[in-house]
Amino acid sequence: MGSVGVLFLFLSLYAGLLMDVSTAQMPGIEYLHTGCVPSIIHRDLKTSNILLDKNMRAKVSDFGLSKLAVDGASHVSSIVRGTVGYLDPEYYISQQLTDKSDVYSFGVILLELISGQEAISNESFGINCRNIVQWAKMHIESGDIQGIIDPSLHDYDIQSMWKIAEKALMCVQPHGSMRPSISEVIKEIQDAITIEKGAEGVREGSSDEISRHSVHSSLNLGSLDLGASEHYLSIDDSIARPTAR
Q: Which of 54, 49, 3 is nearest to 28 (CA)?
A: 49
102 as an active site residue: the answer is: no
Q: Judge whether 69 and 96 are in contact, CB under 8 Å.
A: no
* Close Cβ partners of 70 (under 8 Å, ≥ 6 residues apart): 38, 76
- From 20, 44, 99, 157, active-site residue: 44
- d(CA 124, CA 127) in angstroms, rounded, equals 9
Residue 188 Cα to chain centre, angstroms: 12
Judged by DSSP in three states, 40 sits in strand
Q: Judge whether 84 and 149 are in contact, CB under 8 Å.
A: no
Taking every pair of Cα atoms in the chain, the longest distance, rounded to a whole number of angstroms, is 73
Catalytic site positions:
44
